[in-house]
Amino acid sequence: MTILNKSFLTPYNTAPFSQINNEDFLPAFKAAIEKARAEIDAITSNSELPNFENTIEALDYSGEELDRISSIFFNLNSAETNDEIQKIAQEVSPLLSEFSNDITLNEDLFKRIKTVYNSKPDLDLSTEQATLLDKKYKSFSRNGANLPEDKKERLRAIDKELSQLKLKFGEHILAETNKFEMLLTDENDLSGLPDGAKEAAKQLAESKGKEGWLITLDYPSYIPFMTYADNRQLREKLSKAFGSKGFKNDHLDNQDIVLKIANLRFERAQLLGYDTHAHFVLEERMAETPDKVNSFLQDLLEKAKPAAEKEFKNLESFAKELDGIEQIQKWDSAYYSEKLKQKLFSLDDEQLKPYFKLENVIDGAFTVAEKLFGLKFEEINTIDKYHEDVLTYEVLDADGHLVSIFYADFFPRAGKRNGAWMTSFKPQMIKNGVNERPHVSIVCNFTKPTKSKPSLLTFNEVTTLFHEFGHALHGMLANTTYPSLSGTNVYWDFVELPSQILENWCYEEETLKLFATHYKTGEVIPLELIEKIKASATFHEGMQTLRQLSFGMLDMAWHGRSPVNITSVKKHETEAFSETQLYPEVAENCMSTAFAHIFQGGYSSGYYSYKWAEVLDADAFEYFKEEGIFNKTVANKFKAYVLSQGGTENPMTLYKKFRGHEPKPDALLRRAGLIK
C-alpha cells in the first residue's frame, strides 16, 4: 500500500507531495479502484430495499480515495509533468475509463437507482437530494445503462480510446511548445520590446546556457514579442510557429487525433440515441440544444460584426499610414492594435505594469474577497508544495474558522502547460456531520521576477488572475452536502459566472486604489490612468467578440453535426471560420490541432459558454453597480445563491433568486459599447 492509499497525516489533510514518488501512482490507482469497486459491491449486495441513503447517497460518497489520488495526479500532469508522469497517465486513463464504465453499465446498481428514481414522488427529499437523485439517474441513462450488451461493449471501447487520444493530443501540444526556441543574437532584432521582456529573454537564454535572447511559445514570452517587436519577419516566424502546433505532418501532428476524437464522440452520441455530441452535451446545460447555441452565437455575430469590420478597416488604415503595410496579417494584429491603442488613449501596458506588481495584485484580490465575503488569507509554510514556486494559504472566515486551503502557482516552467486554470485537490462535502473544507488551487503563467524587476503584470494578466480567483472563490465558499454537487460542479455554461464577474472589479477606481501602487515609488495609480483603462476597455470589442464567437462556432462545427465526411481538418476549420474571418488565411496554421479546450479539456460543445456567461456576468455586475460594488447585501445574496450552492439547483433558478429576473443580454452589449 502506498502513501496515497493511507490517511494523510498532514496539516489539514493536505496532499503530501514531498513523500509521493512517481512509481507510487500506478499501484495507488489500482488499489483505490479495487476499494471503490468494493464500495459499489456493498451497495448492490445490500439486502435492504433500495432507498435514497443506501443507494444514491452511498454512491455519491463512494470512491473518495480514488477521486483524491486522481486530483493529485492529474493536477501534476498539468502543472508539473515529466515523461514518467505522462507515461503513467497513458496507463492510468484507460483503467479509470474502464472503471467509470463498470459503474455506469452496472445493471444491478442501475436497477437500485431506477427503483429509487421511480419512487421519487413518494420521497420527502430536499431540493439538493432531489437534484442528486436526478443527476445520478441521468448519469446512468445518458451513459448507456439502458443499452443492450453489445452496444455497452462498444461504448466501453470508445471511452477507453477517447481517454488516451485526449492525453496524446495534450502531450503533443506541450512537446511542440517546449520544442520551439527562437534565439536572437542581434539586439536590433529586439527593437520595440520593453526592457522587462528583453531582460526576461536574456535570463531565459542564460538559464539554458545560451548567449543572446531566447523567445519561446510560452505566453509571457510570446505575447510581449507579438505585441511590441518591430521586426515583422520575426513576428511572422513566431506567429506561424504558435499557430501550427500539431499541424506539421510529423510525429507530433494532431490532425488524425482531431478527426478520431470528433468521430468517436459522434458515434458515442448516436449509440446513446442523440443526433450529435452537442445534442448529448447540451441536454445538461442552460442552453439546452445546439439550435439555441447557434442562434445565440448568430445573434451576437449580427450585432458585433459591423463594429468588428469597422475596427478592422481602421486598423488596416492605421498600419498603412504608419508603416505602408498594404495587407495587414495575423502577426500584425497585436502589434498595430497596441500602437493604435497608445495613439487613441495614450495608454500602453508598459505604463501600467509598474502599478501591477504580482504580490500587490494578489493582495488586491484578497482584499476584494474580504470586503465582499469576509474572507481572510494568511500565507502558511507548514504544508507541502509540488514546486517551490507555489504559494500556500489558509483561508478563514470573519470568525476565524477554516474556509479552505488555497494554492497559487504563477510562473511558467517546462513541465507546465500554457494558460490559466482553477482546480482542486480535495472537494467540499458534509459527511458524518463534518463539513469537510476544500483545497483549491489556481495556476497561471505570468512573467517571472528578473534580477532587476519583480513580476509585473499586464492589465490583461491582472484580469486573468481575478478570473481564476473568481473560480477559486466558487470552490472555496462551497457549502453543500454532496461532493458531486459542490463548488464548480455546476452546468458548464454557468461555471464562468463567478470568474467573469470578478474581472469587473479590475476596472473600478474603488478597487484599483486598494492595490495598484507603483512598485518603486509606492504611488497609487493616478486617476487619469484609471480613466484611460475604463475608456480603453471597449477598444476593439467588436473584433474581440468576433474572435470568441469564431471559437464557439468552430466547436459547434466539430460537434454539432456529423463529422463522418470530414477528411481535411484545415478545410473544415476554414469553412467554420468563414463568417468571422477578418485576416487573410495562413496556410501553415490550424487552430483545431491545438484547440485544447475542446479536444483535451472539458469544453467540447461548450466554448460558447464564455460568451453565455458574459451575458450573466454583465447583468449581475449591473446589480452591484446599482447598489455599490462592495455592497454587503448584494454580495451576501451572490454568496448565498451562487457561490455556495454549487449544482444543488437549476442555475437559472439560482440566478433569479440572486438577481430577481432572468439575465438580459442588453447589459453585455452596453458594456461592450455595441449598443447605447
Select which of 350, 468, 508, 622 is catalytic.
Answer: 468
Outline where 391-492 has alpha helix (H): 459-476
Domain spans in the chain, listed from the N-terminal domain onward = 3-146, 180-243, 257-342+541-595, 354-492
Q: Which CATH number fits domain 257-342+541-595: 3.30.70.360, 1.10.1370.10, 3.40.190.170, 1.20.1290.10?
A: 1.10.1370.10
Helix (H) or strand (E) run with residue 398 in it: none
Alpha-carbon dihedral of residues 647, 649, 650, 651, nearest 10 degrees?
-60
pLDDT digits (tens, 9 = 90+) for 586-610: 999 999 999 999 999 889 999 999 9
**Poorest-pLDDT segment among 88-92, 346-350, 563-567:** 346-350
Confidence of residue 620 (pLDDT cuts 50, 70, 90): very high
- 354-492: what fold? Collagenase (Catalytic Domain) (3.40.390)
Amino acid at 354: P
Written out in words, the top-level CATH class of the domain with range 3-146 is mainly alpha
DSSP 511-549: HHHHH-B-TTT-PBPPHHHHHHHHHHTTTTHHHHHHHHH
Q: What is the pTM of this model?
A: 0.87
Q: Is residue 612 a contact partner of residue 296, using CB atoms and an 8 Å limit?
A: yes
Active-site residue flag, 288: no
pLDDT digits (tens, 9 = 90+) for 189-238: 999 999 999 999 999 999 999 999 999 999 999 999 999 999 999 999 99
pLDDT digits (tens, 9 = 90+) for 476-493: 999 999 999 999 999 988
Mean pLDDT to the nearest integer, 236-244? 98
Q: Is residue 144 a contact partner of residue 105, using CB atoms and an 8 Å limit?
A: yes
Helix (H) or strand (E) run with residue 211 in it: none
pLDDT digits (tens, 9 = 90+) for 114-170: 999 999 999 999 999 999 999 999 999 998 988 999 999 999 999 999 999 999 999
Q: What is the mean pLDDT of the chain?
A: 96
d(CA 335, CA 338): 5
Q: Is residue 408 a contact partner of residue 442, using CB atoms and an 8 Å limit?
A: yes
